[in-house]
Amino acid sequence: MTKMGMLIEDKLVRQLEEEAKSRNLELNSFMGISVSYLMGDISILVDIEKLYQLKKVDGIESQECDVKQLENYISSSMQLSERILKDEINSSVLMMFPHILGDKLFNETGYESE
């Protein structure tokens, strides 16, 4: 997954460089800012993980649903939501909440949230 993330980042850097050159932007400054932003952006890894999960669950739509697994997932997700509402979880990580729930669903049930 990390290798795929690096390949995607490399392609993005090349496209950014071409775009900066075509607009006559100061290349060193622009690329320094762009690369530091890309290196801190974990969403690429999140997207790659989602693709992996989608591939793993492709074709399981016909399988019987384990209702008990889903009940356990929903119950634990509600507990997590309550902790968020009570400010027991740092609000800076809330942007990851949908991803965390999607991972939790996949890990506990084998189902994909998408």
pTM for this predicted structure:
0.46
pLDDT at 100: 77
CA distance 99 to 72: 18
pLDDT along the chain (114 residues), means of 10: 69 85 87 76 69 69 80 87 85 74 79 67
CA distance 30 to 62: 50
Q: Would you state the structure tokens that stand for residue 105, as one six-digit string?
A: 């669903």
How many residues does this entry show for the chain?
A: 114
5 and 48 Cβ atoms separated by less than 8 Å: yes
pLDDT at 45: 66
Q: Which of 109, 63, 101 is nearest to 80 (CA)?
A: 101
